[in-house]
Amino acid sequence: MEDPVVQRREEIAEIYEKGFLALSAVMLVAFLGALAYAAFAMNIELPSDEGQLNPREVRQTEPFSDPGPGVYQTGPNEYRVVLMSSAWRFNPAEIEVPAGSEVTFVGTSADVLHGFHIEGTRVNVMMIPGQVTKITYTFREPGQHDFVCHEYCGIGHHQMYGELTVTSGGEG
């Protein structure tokens, strides 16, 4: 016959164990739910890996050689910005798109590590030498957004900024 005190302790331990197992399951579902909400409802996504290139030959490599840095319309409401970061400027430093545009930024660095952050948006990526970064964002409201380099890149870092203008001009 087992000691009733020991038996009671084992029963209590089992209740706690089941409780914590249930709590772990609930938290797992809650965290997965939060992740799904961020990804689908809030449209938060990670910048995607567009491939690598030889950092010494950025200016001879597509799309940075051809068509080269700039803003290109790719569809009725779609734009592609080929963005070159180098000490200490962005090319292009001025970007203009109409409201409602889905803009895909394809960028890299021609020298050292830079950052690219468009204030007021979730566009916030690193520009890594040898790495091509891609991120897509839809600008719904007309307005102006400054964009800055947010990775310290040398003595001219504070001058490394640009401006993105979302014009009200047409949803077309």
Q: Which is nearer to Cu ion, 145 or 150 (CB)?
A: 150
Closest to 54 measured CA to CA, from 104, 108, 91, 127: 108
**3-class SS of residue 34:** helix
By the 10 Å C-beta count (0-12 exposed, 13-18 middle, 19+ buried), 107 is classed as buried
**Contacting range for Cu ion; rule: CB under 5 A; set: 15-23, 95-103, 116-124, 143-151:** 143-151
Provide the minimum distance between the beta carbon of 128 and Cu ion in the complex, in angstroms, as a whole number. 13
How many CB atoms neighbour CB 39 within 10 A? 12
- Determine the size of the site formed for Cu ion (CB under 5 A): 4
- Tell me if 153 contacts Cu ion by CB under 5 A: yes
**Contacting range for Cu ion; rule: CB under 5 A; set: 32-40, 59-67, 128-136, 147-155:** 147-155
Identify how many contiguous H helices and E strands the chain contains and give both numbers. Answer: 1, 11
For Cu ion, what does the binding mask look like between residues 100 and 139, x meaning CB under 5 A?
----------------------------------------
Report the alpha-carbon angle 66-68-74, nearest 5.
85
Q: Which is nearer to Cu ion, 58 or 153 (CB)?
A: 153
Q: Which of 149, 162, 164, 166 binds Cu ion (CB under 5 A)?
A: 149
Q: Which is nearer to Cu ion, 123 or 149 (CB)?
A: 149
CA distance 89 to 156: 9
Q: Which residues bind Cu ion (CB under 5 A)?
A: 149, 153, 157, 160
